């Protein structure tokens, strides 16, 4: 089969087509004939050598796929050959065939294309696990999301609104802010023009927000603490502005703040299967009814993975970039 491999750490051009054997599913796994694969910023970091695959994962990039079940491993599963599914995978998605744990395969929502379905797993698992499980966002509370037009951000906006929370976002241009408002955000702050700490103070009448989903880190950390209400929760999921920060610890005590974070890829299958179950019960019906939908910026053929990565690094996209196979 054709796959895209990372020939060495570096710029997008290190992504090259190669021939690899079609993998064989082991117990609990299925082989999927891939129709579409979602690109995520962690793929870019893997390509740069900054996010190595966890032990046992394929060296081929690609964390989410949609396609057709082509073979089934030893254990019995709810799936059968010919089923169309989307799946969260630990790697191997940039290929014609990819292995997936049967427990991490979800049905294609009603009236949804395989391209759209390939955009679901990574951001829906991540946002559900961090915003709803870890940070316990509940109806009536307020969420601040940095990077509102990212794949993660567009999912967080829609999910928080669907579960009756208020959502504020930051983004790097007026056009991106406008898109977030149209998608449902209650306010969008252009971080290149305005100080988000001051804006959040005004938007919340000085009270602060209940949850922050942060993919920026670095100097955003002390500023995030200033935006947090009493008993608020900060979830760190990436560190685009660096992993070091100097902070005043006092607000953590005075406002009883919770600072947490996580990475999804290295977690065990059972943990991810729990998220899959919750998504199926609570979020898939919203996708079936069309109440929420993945935002697709554009698609590229698999062999143009390098161009797709270059686009992601330019940050001109809004929502997801997908490779078609
Ligand atoms: N922990 C986990 O398990 C996990 C899982 C998946 C993804 N992630 C992380 O989540 C992030 C989003 O992933 P993605 O695939 O959705 O990537 P993406 O679409 O490329 O999004 C990256 C976003 O960061 C925004 N950004 C950069 N600097 C910013 C700043 N100073 N303030 C506000 N926004 C800023 C960019 O928007 P502007 O153009 O507006 O700056 C862009 O929308 C990545 O950092 C990724 O590593 C973590």
Domain ranges of the chain: 2-120+265-324, 124-261
Evaluate if residue 76 carries a pLDDT over 80.
no
Between the CA of 137 and the centroid of ligand 1 the distance, in Å, is 20
pLDDT tier for residue 287 given thresholds of 50, 70 and 90: very high
Determine how β-strand 15-19 pairs with β-strand 258-261.
Answer: unpaired
Residue 86 backbone dihedrals phi, psi, to 5 degrees: -115, 155
- Over residues 197-226, the mean pLDDT reads 98
Q: CA angle, 45 as apex, 211 and 197 as ends, to 5°?
A: 30
CATH 3.90.180.10 is the classification of domain 2-120+265-324: yes
* Whole-number average pLDDT of the chain: 97
Hey, what CATH class is 124-261 in? alpha beta
What integer pLDDT is reported at residue 75 of this predicted model?
Answer: 79
- Over residues 116-122, the mean pLDDT reads 98
215 lines ligand 1 (CB under 6 A): yes
What integer pLDDT is reported at residue 36 of this predicted model?
Answer: 99
Largest CA distance in the chain: 59
Select from 39, 152, 199 the residue to mutate for testing ligand 1; criterion: most ligand atoms less than 8 Å from CB: 152
Evaluate if residue 162 carries a pLDDT over 80.
yes
**Whole-number percent of the chain with pLDDT over 70:** 100
- Over residues 157-180, the mean pLDDT reads 98
- Over residues 9-13, the mean pLDDT reads 98
**Whole-number percent of the chain with pLDDT over 90:** 98
Whole-angstrom distance, CA of residue 88 vs CA of residue 119: 10
What integer pLDDT is reported at residue 153 of this predicted model?
Answer: 98
Atom of ligand 1 nearest to the CA of 172: 40
Atom of ligand 1 nearest to the CA of 320: 19
Between the CA of 59 and the centroid of ligand 1 the distance, in Å, is 23
Strand partners, 86: 66, 106
Residue 216 backbone dihedrals phi, psi, to 5 degrees: -110, -50
Between the CA of 13 and the centroid of ligand 1 the distance, in Å, is 22
Select from 12, 39, 41, 154 the residue to mutate for testing ligand 1; criterion: most ligand atoms less than 8 Å from CB: 41
Evaluate if residue 155 carries a pLDDT over 90.
yes
Tens digits of residue pLDDT in 124-137? 999 999 999 999 99
What integer pLDDT is reported at residue 77 of this predicted model?
Answer: 80
Atom of ligand 1 nearest to the CA of 51: 47
Between the CA of 42 and the centroid of ligand 1 the distance, in Å, is 9
- Over residues 216-223, the mean pLDDT reads 98
Residues in the chain: 325
pLDDT tier for residue 201 given thresholds of 50, 70 and 90: very high
pLDDT tier for residue 176 given thresholds of 50, 70 and 90: very high
């Amino acid at each position: 089969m054709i796959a895209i491999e990372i020939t060495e750490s570096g710029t997008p051009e290190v992504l090259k087509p190669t021939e690899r054997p079609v993998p064989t599913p082991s117990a609990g796994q299925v082989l999927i004939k891939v129709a579409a694969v979602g690109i995520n910023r962690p793929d870019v970091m893997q390509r740069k050598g900054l996010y190595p695959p966890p032990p046992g994962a394929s060296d081929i990039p690609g964390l989410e796929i949609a396609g057709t079940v082509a073979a089934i491993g030893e254990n019995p599963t709810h799936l059968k050959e010919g089923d169309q599914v989307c799946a969260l995978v630990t790697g191997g998605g940039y290929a014609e065939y990819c292995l997936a744990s049967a427990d991490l395969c979800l049905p294609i929502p009603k009236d949804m294309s395989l391209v759209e379905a390939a955009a679901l797993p990574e951001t829906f698992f991540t946002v559900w696990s961090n915003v709803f499980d870890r940070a316990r966002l509940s109806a009536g509370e307020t969420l601040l999301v940095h990077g509102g037009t990212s794949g993660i951000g567009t999912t967080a906006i829609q999910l928080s609104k669907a579960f009756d929370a208020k959502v504020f976002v930051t983004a790097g241009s007026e056009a991106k802010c406008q898109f977030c408002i149209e998608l449902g955000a209650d306010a969008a702050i252009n971080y290149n023009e305005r100080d988000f700490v001051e804006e959040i103070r005004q938007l919340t009448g000085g009270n602060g927000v209940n949850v922050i989903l942060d993919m920026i880190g670095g100097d955003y950390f002390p500023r995030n603490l200033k935006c947090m209400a009493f008993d608020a929760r900060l979830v760190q999921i990436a560190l685009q502005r660096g992993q070091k920060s100097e902070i005043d610890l006092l607000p953590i005590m005075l406002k009883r703040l919770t600072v947490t974070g996580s990475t999804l890829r290295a977690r065990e299958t059972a943990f991810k299967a729990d998220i899959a179950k919750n998504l199926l019960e609570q979020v898939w019906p919203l996708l079936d009814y069309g109440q929420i939908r993945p935002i697709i910026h554009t698609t590229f053929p698999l062999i143009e993975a390098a161009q797709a990565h270059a686009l992601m690094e330019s940050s001109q996209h809004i929502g997801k970039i997908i490779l078609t196979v």
